[in-house]
């Protein structure tokens, strides 16, 4: 595993200057190439196989963990990625591995995921940054606090350690410089990790287990014959297979459209900041009305605002308006709708192209939306206003990512009833990083047809078409 120097030359582990603030096991890995967002890079396998038991499309947290599970079960796996491992949302998220505030349908899966995170941290020769340092949420809103208390009851019933914080305990956890907190929640066994390091490191574990990793290898289409998967066509050639897992994040719905599979999915844009080193105000993660924080191994914070996403108006916004309408109405004040060039880019790519032509997935190797300057200003100002001791802290890096969202706020982890051998794991709504290892395990179970790690019924694709009402969990934090 390596990172590239700014001049493009590779530095192997054991050479070059240490990276300040990283764990000792990472101390001799050089920094990433000059991209708007930095992440660890790992080598690819050059030879594309003619055949594989399973082809996994998408090398984000879900794809790499599913590939790892499948390989350890004895299957030959080709993991194909149009860009690079974790180049999109899997390295751009907040780095929270949280149980707190989860949709009730996700609670069993996140509990399993935490156990897998523990195992992966112990197995990996590269420190994933996984620490069970807890999550504290603080509020000044009585209505919000009441909702959090309702969730706490459900969380405890699901086996999660949840502590109610009084006003005094909330102030002690993170003193307010404005109006005092009226209370909050603490989940001490919640975790944090370093997304830009962890996902590539897990992909390296997958390669060590026998997974073939093929980056810069866009899938142009899935071949289906008589209702059965028969292969995938990539820009570098065809792979024959009877099983495909689509874990393409924001690109999944577009890929599946070619095969007539309706996957209601829209994308949100979220801005995140990495700060310069700062005093350790909190060892884990913090959520508040002003800002959200996660302590980093490099001594800084990952900083962002809560509920300040934007959404580009695209063709699918009209196509999927009906299932998304309840959620849009509930979050109307929080989501900023933008109409611009993305609509026309999406329109130009709407119709699937012949498989021997360059695809949309090759034209945009990595989705790299510009961060929102207003979010950067607001988050930094709120951070410094509330904690004067960070007056000298500055943004070291800022980026944005595309969040793949579903109408009800929970992912699709499901086989496809009309196509034998096709499984989908996508739509993680901005909280797929923490739940990723459990979701990857569940997806692998469905691919293999073995007993699933948790009940997959809440995540079935058919819920959007079988007359089931869209359910938005009222107690989600």
Q: What is the pLDDT of residues 194-250, one digit of tens each?
A: 999 999 999 999 999 999 999 999 999 999 999 999 999 999 999 999 999 999 999
Residue 24 within a domain:
no
pLDDT of residue 332: 66
Residue 29 pLDDT greater than 50, yes or no: no
CA distance 90 to 366: 12
CA distance 350 to 286: 40
Residue 147 pLDDT greater than 60, yes or no: yes
Residue 6 pLDDT greater than 90, yes or no: no
Residue 300 within a domain:
yes
Neighbours of 176 (CB within 10 A): 15
Residue 25 pLDDT greater than 50, yes or no: no
Residue 365 within a domain:
yes
Sign of the torsion formed by the C-alpha atoms of 252, 258, 262 and 265: positive
pLDDT of residue 36: 56
Residue 146 within a domain:
no
CATH number at residue 416: 3.50.50.60
Residue 12 within a domain:
no
CA distance 400 to 268: 10
Structural domain boundaries, residue 448: 54-134+189-464
| Strands 228-234, 237-240: pairing kind | antiparallel
Residue 48 within a domain:
no
Residue 12 pLDDT greater than 50, yes or no: no
CA distance 270 to 309: 5
CA distance 256 to 387: 47
| pTM for the whole structure | 0.90
pLDDT of residue 329: 80
Residue 164 within a domain:
no
Position with higher pLDDT, 403 vs 35: 403
Highest mean pLDDT: which range of 17-26, 369-378, 415-424: 415-424
Query: pLDDT tens digit string along 80-125?
Result: 999 999 999 999 999 999 999 999 999 999 999 999 999 999 999 9
CA distance 314 to 339: 8
Residue 322 pLDDT greater than 60, yes or no: yes
pLDDT of residue 333: 66
Q: How many domains does the chain have?
A: 1
Residue 300 pLDDT greater than 60, yes or no: yes
pLDDT of residue 310: 79
Query: pLDDT tens digit string along 53-63?
Result: 999 999 999 99
Residue 52 pLDDT greater than 70, yes or no: yes
Residue 4 pLDDT greater than 80, yes or no: no
Give the pair of three-digit tokens for residue 402: 């595309």
Q: Using 50, 70 and 90 to split pLDDT, how confident is the model at 421?
A: very high
Residue 181 within a domain:
no
């Amino acid at each position: 595993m390596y990172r590239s120097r700014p001049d493009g030359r590779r530095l192997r582990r054991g050479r070059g200057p240490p990276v300040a603030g990283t764990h000792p096991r990472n101390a001799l890995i050089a920094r990433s190439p000059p991209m708007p967002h930095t992440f660890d890079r790992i080598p690819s396998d050059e030879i594309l196989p003619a055949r594989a038991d399973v082809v996994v499309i998408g090398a984000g947290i879900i794809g790499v963990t599913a590939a790892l599970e499948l390989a350890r079960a004895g299957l030959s796996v080709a993991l194909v990625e149009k860009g690079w491992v974790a180049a999109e949302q899997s390295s751009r998220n907040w780095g929270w591995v949280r149980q707190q505030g989860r949709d009730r349908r996700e609670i069993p899966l996140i509990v399993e995921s935490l156990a897998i995170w523990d195992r992966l941290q112990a197995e990996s020769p590269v420190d994933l940054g996984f620490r069970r340092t807890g999550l504290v949420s603080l509020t000044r809103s009585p209505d919000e606090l009441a909702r959090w208390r309702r969730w706490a009851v459900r969380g405890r019933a699901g086996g999660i350690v949840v502590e109610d914080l009084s006003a005094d305990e909330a102030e002690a956890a993170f003193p307010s410089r404005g109006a005092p907190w009226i209370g909050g929640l603490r989940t001490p066994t919640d975790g944090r990790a370093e997304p830009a390091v962890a996902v590539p490191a897990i992909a390296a574990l997958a390669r060590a287990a026998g997974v073939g990793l093929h980056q810069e290898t866009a899938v142009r289409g899935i071949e289906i014959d008589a209702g059965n998967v028969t292969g995938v066509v990539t820009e570098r050639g065809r792979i024959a297979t009877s099983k495909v897992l689509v874990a393409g994040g924001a690109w999944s719905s577009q890929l599946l459209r070619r095969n007539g599979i309706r996957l209601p999915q829209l994308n949100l844009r979220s801005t995140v900041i990495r700060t310069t080193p700062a005093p350790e105000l909190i060892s884990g993660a913090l959520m508040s009305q002003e800002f959200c924080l996660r302590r980093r191994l490099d001594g800084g914070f990952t900083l962002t605002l809560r509920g300040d996403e934007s959404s580009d108006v695209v063709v699918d916004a009209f196509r999927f308006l009906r299932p998304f309408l309840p959620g849009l109405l509930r979050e109307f004040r929080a989501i900023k709708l933008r109409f611009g060039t993305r609509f026309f880019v999406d329109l130009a790519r709407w119709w699937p192209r012949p498989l021997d032509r360059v695809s949309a997935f090759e034209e945009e190797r990595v989705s790299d939306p510009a961060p929102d300057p207003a979010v950067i200003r607001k988050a930094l100002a709120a951070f410094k206003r509330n904690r004067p001791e960070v007056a000298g802290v500055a943004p070291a890096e800022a980026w944005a990512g595309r969040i793949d969202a579903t109408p009800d706020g929970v992912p699709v982890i499901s086989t496809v009833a009309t196509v034998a051998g096709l499984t989908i794991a996508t739509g993680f709504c901005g909280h797929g990083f923490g739940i990723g290892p459990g979701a990857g395990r569940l997806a692998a179970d469905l691919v293999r047809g073995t007993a699933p790690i948790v009940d997959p019924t809440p995540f079935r694709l058919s819920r959007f078409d079988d007359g089931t009402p869209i359910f938005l969990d009222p107690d989600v934090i």
